[in-house]
């Protein structure tokens, strides 16, 4: 048998296609199929999103922790503020009441319970007012209350603050009483001083009248001076009584024209020749409620003061008219030197005078009369010179005037 040559009997490898052979000899990693590559891309994207989401969750947890701590701190501060306000309300001397929309009492501090009495919580405000008339300004059980309220618009509630002013009223009454006593003492002292001078002159004149060798002409002259001194004392006492009387006189409806006519009728005959008086005419439409005698007397005091100025020619101007539908004004102006600035604040004080023969009560009576009529008086120096007195009085409309006259007729 012939022998087999192994080397010659090598198995032939199958031929590799040219395109596949070229692929096997290319450098680099092997490429994946398209579905696997797409899946890997999706995986990478999900991983990135997951990591970003983890970062966001971590940030939100941090912000939530900060917000939670801030909220807790805010709640602690509010709780502390609530405790302070509660303590403050508990120790307040005034009463604090909280009303709901239906004006029922929801809450009240201890001072309110002490002032208004129990029951309080749940009660209607009207029932509490009914059993505590001091809340309406009436003096019940000898007490005075001051009541202030403010609406809480957010909830429709109302906070009412109640203050017991009884002690304040009593102190005020005591102070007023002391002021009146002091004023009476000062008034009596000044009256005594004012009367002492003419009284001394009167005593001297009386001693002169007792002389047997006194001539008739001298006796008549002394008697005239004696009458003048006695008249001065009588006027002083009358002014004093008018001021001290201090009661509201009986009033009636009268026109401003009537007041000015009566004023001129009283003053013109006695005015000195160097004094001229000009009065602005008015119609009958301006009416007021007043005591005509007192108002005419007050205006006469202003004119008399102006007529006593130490100058050769004195001109007094009186103007009157309506300032508005509610007020009228009477203006008395002279052409004198005016009033010293330091005297203006005290000009209406009783017994204040800058004249040797003045009583110091004329302008005080003017101020008191105007006050009784519900008006106001003030004085200033006019820019063109001279003093100017302004008297503002309330006007009376036709309806109010008829009602007032009907009331007077019904009561008379």
pLDDT of the residue at 392: 95
Lowest mean per-residue pLDDT among 135-139, 261-265, 325-329? 135-139
Which of 3.30.479.30, 3.40.50.880, 3.90.226.10, 3.30.450.20 is the CATH number of 90-164? Answer: 3.30.450.20
pLDDT above 50 (res 94) = yes
pLDDT band at 203 (very low <50, low <70, confident <90, very high): confident
Mean pLDDT for the stretch of residues 98-113 = 86
Lowest mean per-residue pLDDT among 28-37, 54-63, 137-146, 296-305? 28-37
pLDDT above 80 (res 51) = yes
Q: What percent of the chain has pLDDT over 70?
A: 79
pLDDT above 90 (res 391) = yes
pLDDT band at 20 (very low <50, low <70, confident <90, very high): very low
pLDDT above 90 (res 211) = no
User: Mean pLDDT, the chain, as a whole number?
Assistant: 79
pLDDT band at 376 (very low <50, low <70, confident <90, very high): very high
pLDDT above 80 (res 385) = yes
pLDDT band at 361 (very low <50, low <70, confident <90, very high): confident
Alpha-carbon distance 106 to 119, whole Å?
12
pLDDT of the residue at 15: 46
Ordered by start, the domain boundaries in the chain are: 90-164, 186-245, 252-351+361-411
Q: pLDDT for 288-304, tens place per residue?
A: 998 888 888 889 888 88
pLDDT of the residue at 204: 79
pLDDT above 70 (res 406) = no
Mean pLDDT for the stretch of residues 384-395 = 92
The CATH-assigned architecture of domain 186-245 is Orthogonal Bundle (1.10)
Please give the CATH topology (third level) of the domain spanning 252-351+361-411: Heat Shock Protein 90 (3.30.565)
pLDDT of the residue at 176: 82
pLDDT above 60 (res 387) = yes
Higher pLDDT: 24 or 36? It is 36
Mean pLDDT for the stretch of residues 339-363 = 77
pLDDT band at 223 (very low <50, low <70, confident <90, very high): confident
Most confident of 38-42, 353-357, 374-378, 406-410: 374-378
pLDDT of the residue at 10: 41
Mean pLDDT for the stretch of residues 9-16 = 43
pTM: 0.46
pLDDT of the residue at 401: 47
Largest CA distance in the chain: 218
């Amino acid at each position: 048998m012939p022998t087999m040559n192994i080397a010659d009997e090598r198995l032939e490898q199958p031929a590799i296609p040219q395109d596949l052979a070229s692929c096997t000899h290319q450098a680099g990693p092997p490429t994946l199929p398209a579905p696997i590559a797409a899946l890997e891309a999706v995986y990478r994207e999900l991983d990135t999103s997951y990591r970003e989401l983890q970062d966001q969750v971590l940030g939100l947890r941090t912000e939530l922790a900060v917000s939670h701590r801030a909220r807790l701190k805010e709640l602690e501060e509010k709780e502390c503020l609530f405790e302070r306000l509660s303590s403050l309300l508990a120790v307040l001397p005034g009463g604090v009441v909280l009303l709901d929309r239906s004006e029922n009492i929801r809450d009240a501090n201890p001072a309110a319970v002490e002032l208004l009495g129990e029951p309080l919580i749940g009660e209607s405000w009207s029932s509490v007012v009914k059993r505590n008339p001091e809340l309406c300004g009436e003096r019940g059980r000898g007490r005075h209350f001051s009541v202030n309220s403010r609406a809480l618009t957010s909830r429709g509630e109302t906070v009412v603050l109640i203050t017991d002013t009884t002690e304040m009223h009593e102190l005020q009454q005591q102070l007023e009483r002391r002021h009146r006593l002091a004023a009476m003492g000062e008034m009596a002292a000044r009256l005594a001083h004012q009367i002492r001078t003419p009284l001394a002159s009167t005593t001297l004149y009386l001693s002169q009248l007792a002389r047997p060798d006194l001539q008739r002409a001298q006796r008549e002259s002394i008697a005239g001076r004696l009458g003048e001194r006695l008249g001065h004392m009588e006027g002083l006492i009358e002014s004093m009584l008018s001021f001290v009387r201090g009661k509201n006189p009986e009033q009636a409806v009268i026109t401003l024209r009537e007041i000015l006519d009566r004023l001129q009728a009283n003053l013109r005959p006695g005015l000195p020749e160097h004094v001229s008086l000009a009065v602005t005419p008015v119609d009958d439409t301006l009416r007021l409620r007043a005591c005509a005698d007192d108002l005419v007397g007050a205006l006469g005091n202003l004119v008399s003061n102006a007529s006593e100025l130490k100058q050769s020619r004195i001109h007094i101007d009186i103007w009157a008219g309506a300032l508005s539908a509610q007020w009228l004004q009477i203006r008395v102006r002279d052409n004198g030197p005016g009033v010293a600035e330091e005297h203006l604040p005290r000009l209406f004080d009783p017994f204040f005078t800058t004249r040797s023969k003045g009583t110091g009560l004329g302008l005080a009576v003017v101020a008191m009369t105007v006050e009784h009529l519900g008006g106001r008086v003030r004085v200033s120096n006019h820019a063109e010179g001279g003093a100017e007195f302004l008297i503002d009085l309330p006007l009376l409309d036709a309806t109010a005037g008829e009602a007032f006259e009907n009331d007077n007729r019904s009561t008379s």
